[in-house]
Amino acid sequence: MRGVNRRQFLAYMGIGTAVGLINACGGGSGIPTAGMMTGGGGSGGGTTTPGATFQDPPLAQLTRNGNLVETTLSPMRAQTTINGQTVTMMLYNGSYPAPTIRVKSGDILRVNFTNNLPANADITGTNVLGYDMSVTNLHTHGWHVSPSGNADNIFLHFNPGDSHTFEYDLSKQWGGMMGFYHPHNHGTVGEQFWRGLAGGALIVEDDTPELQNYEEHIMIITDISIANGLPTEWTRQDYMRNLGDIVMVNGQVNPVLNIQPGQVQRWRILNACVYRYLRVSLQNHTMYLVGVDDNLLDQPVPINDILLAPAERIDVLVKADQTPGTYTFEDLNSNTPLVTVEYSGAQTNDQIPTTINSATANWVAQLRQMDTSNLRQVSMTLSFVRGQGAINGGVFGQNTYILESPVGTYEVWTIFNRSGMDHPFHQHVDGAVILSINGGDPAYAQLYTSVNGLKDTINVPPMGSVTMLVPVLDYTGDTVFHCHILGHEDIGMMGIWRRV
């Protein structure tokens, strides 16, 4: 708690006057209000002029030999251009956004990783918590792979110049999901995200024919503030909340995406902001939700707008079925345009499918029928304790809370939020079936407690709770669960999940 004044302390605790301060700014599941713009910025609110032509993130270069796929990832210091400004960032392969890795269920992905971040440079050095910013690692968010050895092992860490070969066996990973990769080195995660290592998409190709023929786009939403050619300095307050004043999709401010009249496009959307809660909507259009964090659904769910907490993903179909013109895909929480959608080209008449043949959704439907009364019940409480984040009172790295779960079982976890802020709870390795949500946005609760989807990240509303059915399948080893406001994780809101 070095140098923390009373207001910051109250903010850490989520109490007192700080509650209003925090909730007014990007506070998440709440109803969008004009107040959310306060301090939140956005890229000029609703008045941002349309930018350049929409670009998908680049594809990673892969070499394939049978089911063995290899690629190279290297975090490095590199320059990019954001909204006309040159910015020096930390970027995977020098690319912003980071390259998309597309693989298939059953593949083995080998990532040849080298930490090319410079030691002791202006964007590295030691951060305010005392961690070395040039040390990093790699997490494959959302993948059902081993958390141990050379796989999704977030306890590994790499100094500048270190190389490592990660190997992910995707034989137990079903198709049809978009995860993302990002650093997971405790104490530096939020700041490394902020400085550009906010992930690239990890696509596992579909196992269903109904969604194969649509034009597809990936939308990675991030935010940033820039000063002196760098992302603004990450201060102690930023561990609690940090909203960038520029909001981007794939590193672009309000790009223009063309759609043919009558066309259906598939958009795979990720909130990769460190703190910003989004409520996304396409003006005058219904979006059809076909996939959530970890899997495709069995049928499209029509939605007008949807809360997207940090690290949540949605897979939606949109149909250009309105009067030809220009429509804004926007964040209703901050009244910020994300993408300008422009009708152009020849009339066509694509259809939204009525069902999706998703084996995973069928399995989740069975899980929803399970009698959970005899399952082990686990309760976890998220809170702030003396300016640090905690789970069941344990601050990660000090008196870490450890949950031991037998593999091959199912557990019911209830996550309580004892603070005045939203916390997106994320568990590694296995997605969960959401059974109930107490508090927050009723539409969000209704959606995620009814769809046949697996969630690896779920928002736990202020003073509310989430109950979920957690399959503990296939993989032993230590991994973690934590708040995905990554600054909260850095100050301790993380626990160890010991799978035995």
Q: Which residues bind Cu ion (CB under 5 A)?
A: 423, 483, 485, 488
What is the C-alpha to C-alpha distance for residues 86 and 259, in angstroms, rounded to an integer?
30
Q: What is the DSSP letter of 371?
A: -
User: Taking the complex as a whole, how short is the minimal distance between the CB of residue 310 and Cu ion, in angstroms?
Assistant: 9
Decide the pairing of beta strands 230-231 and 287-291.
unpaired
User: Taking the complex as a whole, how short is the minimal distance between the CB of residue 463 and Cu ion, in angstroms?
Assistant: 13
Q: Which two tokens stand for residue 23?
A: 């909730």
| Residue among 10, 12, 234 at smallest CA distance from 131 | 234
Q: Residue with structure tokens 């024919």?
A: 209
What is the C-alpha to C-alpha distance for residues 249 and 84, in angstroms, rounded to an integer?
15
What is the C-alpha to C-alpha distance for residues 259 and 264, in angstroms, rounded to an integer?
8
User: Taking the complex as a whole, how short is the minimal distance between the CB of residue 390 and Cu ion, in angstroms?
Assistant: 11
Pick left, alpha or beta for residue 62 (phi over 0 → left; psi -120 to 50 → alpha; otherwise beta). beta
Nearer to Cu ion, 77 or 488 (CB): 488
User: Taking the complex as a whole, how short is the minimal distance between the CB of residue 380 and Cu ion, in angstroms?
Assistant: 13
Strand partners, 291: 296, 315
Nearer to Cu ion, 186 or 488 (CB): 488
Nearer to Cu ion, 236 or 423 (CB): 423
Burial of 17 (0-12, 13-18, 19+ CB in 10 A): exposed
User: Taking the complex as a whole, how short is the minimal distance between the CB of residue 356 and Cu ion, in angstroms?
Assistant: 33
Q: Among positive and negative, which fits the CA dihedral 450, 213, 198, 166?
A: positive
User: Taking the complex as a whole, how short is the minimal distance between the CB of residue 394 and Cu ion, in angstroms?
Assistant: 15
What is the C-alpha to C-alpha distance for residues 464 and 193, in angstroms, rounded to an integer?
27
Integer-rounded Cα radius of gyration of the chain: 21
Nearer to Cu ion, 268 or 455 (CB): 455
Q: Which two tokens stand for residue 211?
A: 């969604």
Decide the pairing of beta strands 313-319 and 326-331.
unpaired
User: Taking the complex as a whole, how short is the minimal distance between the CB of residue 219 and Cu ion, in angstroms?
Assistant: 24
User: Taking the complex as a whole, how short is the minimal distance between the CB of residue 488 and Cu ion, in angstroms?
Assistant: 3
Nearer to Cu ion, 98 or 307 (CB): 307
Nearer to Cu ion, 230 or 463 (CB): 463
User: Taking the complex as a whole, how short is the minimal distance between the CB of residue 14 and Cu ion, in angstroms?
Assistant: 9
CA dihedral 21, 42, 335, 290 (to 10 degrees): -100
Nearer to Cu ion, 458 or 485 (CB): 485
User: Taking the complex as a whole, how short is the minimal distance between the CB of residue 485 and Cu ion, in angstroms?
Assistant: 4
How many CA atoms, within 13 angstroms, populate the side-chain half-sphere of residue 85? 15
Nearer to Cu ion, 419 or 467 (CB): 419
What is the C-alpha to C-alpha distance for residues 448 and 466, in angstroms, rounded to an integer?
11
Nearer to Cu ion, 42 or 462 (CB): 462
Q: 147: cis peptide before it, omega within 30°?
A: no
Strand partners, 409: 472
Nearer to Cu ion, 211 or 483 (CB): 483
Decide the pairing of beta strands 215-224 and 264-271.
parallel
User: Taking the complex as a whole, how short is the minimal distance between the CB of residue 136 and Cu ion, in angstroms?
Assistant: 21
What is the C-alpha to C-alpha distance for residues 470 and 466, in angstroms, rounded to an integer?
12
Q: How many residues are present in the chain?
A: 500
Nearer to Cu ion, 279 or 423 (CB): 423
